Structure 1
Amino acid sequence: MALMGSAFFTFTIAMVMFGFVSSAKFDELFQPYWAMDHFTYEGELVKMKLDNYSGAGFSSKSKYMFGKVTVQIKLVEGDSAGTVTAFYMSSDGPKHHEFDFEFLGNTSGEPYIVQTNVYVNGVGNREQRLNLWFDPTKDFHSYSILWNQRQVVFLVDETPIRVHTNLEHKGIPFPKDQSMGVYSSIWNADDWATQGGRVKTDWSHAPFVASYQGFVVDACECPTTTTAVDNAKRCSSSAEKRYWWDEPMMSELSLHQSHQLLWVKANHMVYDYCEDTARFQVIPVECQHHRH
């Protein structure tokens, strides 16, 4: 009986950590928000293309506060230099919060670079870049953002690649008071995306196509008519309602996840804003405390 109880507990932990929620159809959760003619639908598969006329983008139909969002993406194959494919969450307005995955295109044979960024109250400049440990153009891989009142975690195939911790007790603002939409887009950014803008987009290789499947949103949906304060209350655990993302074990990485993050940083990180002394004469305040 003890073994059965232990197994059940382990399974429950796994469900909490990885959010075993079945994926939804694209149009249940999302809608194109620009360049509808640059979308194609093949069953459960959605493709967006970039050509020399336009990029494309989609957005969630609802906004959310806390939870986990995941999408499986197969990135642009071949020479994708100058292109950016993004998957991100963002609120509205000049003081917006935002969590970014940006996949920076490359010339054939070079590794794809993933740039992550965190905006708080309209201020970003928190870029980290890493090379992936697989070819993201050959198969679908899952990219997730986990967000609760204690941390924001970026995950690739459930491996954490970045953590942004709540340091409000140090006087540092943390994004927890604005509902956020979920977005993806593909566009031309050859002024900066590949080797700092030195390699431009080769339009003879267009269209550049990013493919999507496996859409999962396991988060607290926020009605548009509800105030931010009320949404924050509604999407936090109370005596009446317990959310999995507020469980104590979700307040920080597990030991295994911490080891995974250390491995990513040691072997795959190529840029960290916290170490860019040329750009920041004074180290950004969160860098002094953060265990990103």
Structure 2
Amino acid sequence: MVMSLQYCPPDMACIWVLMMMMMTVPSIVGAQGPPPPGYYPSSRFNAINFDQGFRNRWGPQHQIVDKGTLTIWLDSTSGSGFKSLQPYRSGYFSAAVKLQPGYTAGVNTCFYLSNNEDYPGNHDEVDIEFLGTTLDKPYTLQTNVYITGSGDGNIIGREMKFHLWFDPTEDFHNYAILWTPDEIIFLVDDVPIRRYPRKSDATFPMRPMWVYGSIWDASSWATENGKYKADYQYQPFVGKYTNFKVSGCPAASPTSCQPPPTSPSGSGGLSHQQEAAMEWVQRNYKVYYYCEDPSRDRTLTPEC
């Protein structure tokens, strides 16, 4: 919305015009992107080819690697997923991802950490999930943390959801999880969007996890709590991954192994620049936070 004060009369109408202009400022700023974080952890690590760090986990007929780009897809017969060659107990894990445009409701395209195969019914998980959408709405990026079985049966998620300041279907963007013994940082193009600190042993994942990615039908919940389902007249639904970066402490590494630093100081936490960038993202693009949901039982999430 563009308005001019040239003909604004000195009355309440003028005040209303000013208020409307102020309300549009975040969207104008948003188009320019967040302030620079001043620290770019992705630049610390070299990219690896898919087969250097991963293997197919399921749906091999819906997965191809061509010129360094992994393509996985979902149709009415199957989705597909991949898994790292080894588990880690901390580290930096990222991939550049490009999403499918158009109607993708019900489709979950994700990159995440989990030990669900090692601890069935009692697993930990750290998620970056792209929740598909209808033709008139943007993708939702969901970050989530499950601890010791809170994602099994009695589901206790710790979701923070965002829209993005760019169209994730137009190009590849880098999405990362930086996991240390003290905190988890979620990053988009090196901009921290969420920090999940370790406030207690009971609310933080500490067992080794594998790195996964997949595309699958999550119609029961993914788009507006299941209101819109996957519609296979739009199949196949495609996710593209490239520029994989995995650097950390494998489960079998010595205790002296240290994860990558979360900030330029190397002392944990985020720098002032990183905090400012994260605050900007959350102020302008956060659409859900479990600690602010009045319908949630706070006794189940004591870290709130």
TM over 0.5: yes
What is aligned with 1:116? Answer: 143
Q: CA deviation at 1:111?
A: 0.8
Q: CA deviation at 1:246?
A: 8.7
What is aligned with 1:195? Answer: 224
Question: Are the aligned partners of 1:67 and 1:245 in contact in 2 as well (CA < 8 Å)?
Answer: no
Letter in 2 for 1:75: L
Question: Are the aligned partners of 2:123 and 2:149 in contact in 1 as well (CA < 8 Å)?
Answer: yes
The correspondence for 1:260, drawn from 248, 273, 277, is 277
Q: Which structure shows the higher helix fraction?
A: 1
Q: Structure 1 pair 201/243, CA: closer, same or farther in 2 (3 Å)?
A: closer
Q: CA deviation at 1:201?
A: 1.4
Question: Are the aligned partners of 1:167 and 1:174 in contact in 2 as well (CA < 8 Å)?
Answer: yes
What is aligned with 2:205? Answer: 175
Give the whole-Å Cα distance in 1 for the aligned partners of 2:221 and 2:59: 23
The C-alpha deviation readout for 1:220-275, integer Å capped at 9, x for no partner, is 1234xxxxxxx5xx2445xxxx6543996241011111111111111111111101
Letter in 2 for 1:152: I
Is 2:59 aligned against 1:38? no
Question: Are the aligned partners of 2:90 and 2:259 in contact in 1 as well (CA < 8 Å)?
Answer: no
Is 2:125 aligned against 1:101? no
Q: Structure 1 pair 67/52, CA: closer, same or farther in 2 (3 Å)?
A: same
Secondary structure of the 1:110 match is coil
Give the whole-Å Cα distance in 2 for the aligned partners of 1:200 and 1:149: 38
Give the whole-Å Cα distance in 2 for the aligned partners of 1:65 and 1:282: 28
Q: CA deviation at 1:19?
A: 4.9
Q: CA deviation at 1:14?
A: 5.1
The correspondence for 2:45, drawn from 6, 21, 29, is 21
What is aligned with 1:221? Answer: 250
What is aligned with 1:7? Answer: none
Question: Are the aligned partners of 2:185 and 2:262 in contact in 1 as well (CA < 8 Å)?
Answer: no
Q: Structure 1 pair 281/172, CA: closer, same or farther in 2 (3 Å)?
A: closer
Q: Structure 1 pair 211/103, CA: closer, same or farther in 2 (3 Å)?
A: same
Give the whole-Å Cα distance in 1 for the aligned partners of 2:259 and 2:71: 33
Give the whole-Å Cα distance in 2 for the aligned partners of 1:250 and 1:256: 15
Q: Structure 1 pair 47/162, CA: closer, same or farther in 2 (3 Å)?
A: same
Q: Structure 1 pair 40/283, CA: closer, same or farther in 2 (3 Å)?
A: closer
Secondary structure of the 2:225 match is helix
Structure 2: which 5+ runs fail to align? 1-37, 151-155
The correspondence for 2:92, drawn from 55, 68, 87, is 68
Question: Are the aligned partners of 1:50 and 1:186 in contact in 2 as well (CA < 8 Å)?
Answer: yes
Give the whole-Å Cα distance in 1 for the aligned partners of 2:267 and 2:164: 25
Q: Structure 1 pair 244/198, CA: closer, same or farther in 2 (3 Å)?
A: closer
Is 2:187 aligned against 1:155? yes
What is aligned with 2:18? Answer: none
Question: Are the aligned partners of 2:123 and 2:148 in contact in 1 as well (CA < 8 Å)?
Answer: yes
Secondary structure of the 2:100 match is coil
Give the whole-Å Cα distance in 1 for the aligned partners of 2:111 and 2:262: 24
Structure 1: which 5+ runs fail to align? 1-12, 224-230, 288-292
Secondary structure of the 1:261 match is helix
Q: Structure 1 pair 22/111, CA: closer, same or farther in 2 (3 Å)?
A: same
RMSD: 2.0
Q: Compute the TM-score of the two structures, normalised by the length of structure 2.
A: 0.79
Q: CA deviation at 1:48?
A: 0.2
Letter in 1 for 2:75: D
The correspondence for 1:185, drawn from 205, 208, 214, is 214
Q: Structure 1 pair 246/269, CA: closer, same or farther in 2 (3 Å)?
A: closer
What is aligned with 1:271? Answer: 288
**Structure of larger gyration radius:** 2
Letter in 2 for 1:208: F
Question: Are the aligned partners of 1:65 and 1:235 in contact in 2 as well (CA < 8 Å)?
Answer: no
Q: CA deviation at 1:279?
A: 2.5
Give the whole-Å Cα distance in 2 for the aligned partners of 1:275 and 1:48: 35
What is aligned with 1:165? Answer: 197
The C-alpha deviation readout for 1:25-60, integer Å capped at 9, x for no partner, is 101100111010001222111100100000100000
